[in-house]
Structure 1
Amino acid sequence: MRLIAIEEHFLTREIHARWMALGLDAIDPSVALHSGVIERRLLDLAGERLALMDESGVDVQVLSLTTPALHDLGLESVDLARRTNDGVAEAVARHPDRFQAFATLPVAQPDAAAEELERCVGTLGFKGTMLSGRVGTRNLDHPDLAPILASAAALGVPILLHPRMPPAGVREAYYSGLAPQLDAALASFGLGWHYDAGIQFVRLVLSGTFDRLPGLQVILGHWGEMVLFYAERLAALDRVAGLARPVADYLRRNLYVTASGMGLPHYLERAAGYVGTDRLLFSQDYPYQYRPGTDARRFVERCGLDDAGQAAFAHGNWERLTGKREG
Structure 2
Amino acid sequence: MPSPFFPPRVVALEEHVSFPDLQQRIPLAARQQAGWPADDNPDSPTAEYAKKLAEIGPERLALMDAAGITVQVLSISGPGAELLLPDQGPAFAREYNDRLAAGIDKYPERFRGFAHLPLTNPQAAADELTRCVREHQFVGALLNGTTQGKFLDAPEFAPVLAQAEALGVPLYLHPGIPPQPVREAYYSHLPGSLGERLSMAGFGWHAETAIHILRLIFSGTLEKFPRLKLIIGHMGETLPVMMARIDNTVPQEQSQLPRTVAQTLRDQVHITTSGIFTRPPLMAALATFGLANILFSVDYPYAPDAAGQKFLAGLELPPADIVQLACGNADRLLGLAQ
- The answer as to whether partners of 1:67 and 1:162 remain within 8 angstroms in 2 is no
In structure 2, the residue matched to 1:307 is 319
Alpha-carbon distance in structure 2 between the residues aligned to 1:298 and 1:21: 40
Shift of 1:164: 1.1
Q: Are 1:220 and 2:232 an aligned pair?
A: yes
State which of 64, 89, 103 in structure 1 corresponds to 2:115: 103
Three-state SS of the structure 1 residue aligned to 2:235 is coil
In structure 2, the residue matched to 1:143 is 155
Q: Are 1:274 and 2:288 an aligned pair?
A: yes
Deviations 1:136-189, CA, capped at 9 Å, x for gaps: 021111001111111111111011100112111112111111124111011111
- The amino acid of 1:76's aligned partner reads Q
Shift of 1:13: 2.2
- The amino acid of 2:68's aligned partner reads G
Shift of 1:87: 1.3
Alpha-carbon distance in structure 2 between the residues aligned to 1:262 and 1:239: 35
Alpha-carbon distance in structure 2 between the residues aligned to 1:283 and 1:305: 17
In structure 2, the residue matched to 1:24 is 31
Q: Which moved more, 1:295-304 or 1:194-203?
A: 295-304
Deviations 1:199-235, CA, capped at 9 Å, x for gaps: 1111011111121111111111011111221111211
Shift of 1:29: 4.0
- The answer as to whether partners of 1:29 and 1:184 remain within 8 angstroms in 2 is no
- The answer as to whether partners of 1:217 and 1:255 remain within 8 angstroms in 2 is yes
Q: Are 1:4 and 2:11 an aligned pair?
A: yes
Gaps of 5+ in 1: none
- The amino acid of 2:109's aligned partner reads D
- The answer as to whether partners of 2:104 and 2:112 remain within 8 angstroms in 1 is yes
Deviations 1:85-131, CA, capped at 9 Å, x for gaps: 11111111110111010001111100000001011111210000001
Three-state SS of the structure 1 residue aligned to 2:195 is helix
In structure 2, the residue matched to 1:175 is 187
Shift of 1:26: 5.6
- The amino acid of 1:249's aligned partner reads Q
Alpha-carbon distance in structure 1 between the residues aligned to 2:132 and 2:58: 25
In structure 2, the residue matched to 1:60 is 71
Q: Are 1:290 and 2:301 an aligned pair?
A: no
- The answer as to whether partners of 2:206 and 2:237 remain within 8 angstroms in 1 is yes
In structure 1, the residue matched to 2:59 is 48
- The answer as to whether partners of 2:277 and 2:311 remain within 8 angstroms in 1 is yes
Alpha-carbon distance in structure 2 between the residues aligned to 1:30 and 1:59: 33
State which of 261, 265, 270 in structure 1 corresponds to 2:275: 261
Residue identity (%): 37
Three-state SS of the structure 2 residue aligned to 1:223 is helix
* TM-score of the two chains, using structure 1 as the length reference: 0.94
In structure 2, the residue matched to 1:246 is 260
Q: 1:318 to 1:295 in 2, by over 3 A?
A: same
Alpha-carbon distance in structure 2 between the residues aligned to 1:87 and 1:246: 42
Q: 1:27 to 1:156 in 2, by over 3 A?
A: closer
In structure 2, the residue matched to 1:123 is 135
Shift of 1:254: 0.4
- The amino acid of 1:258's aligned partner reads T
Shift of 1:61: 0.7
- The amino acid of 2:20's aligned partner reads R
- The amino acid of 1:114's aligned partner reads A
Alpha-carbon distance in structure 2 between the residues aligned to 1:87 and 1:67: 15
Alpha-carbon distance in structure 2 between the residues aligned to 1:101 and 1:29: 24
- The answer as to whether partners of 1:121 and 1:127 remain within 8 angstroms in 2 is yes
* TM-score of the two chains, using structure 2 as the length reference: 0.91
Shift of 1:25: 3.7
Count of residues paired in the alignment: 323
Three-state SS of the structure 2 residue aligned to 1:18 is coil
Gaps of 5+ in 2: 1-7, 39-43
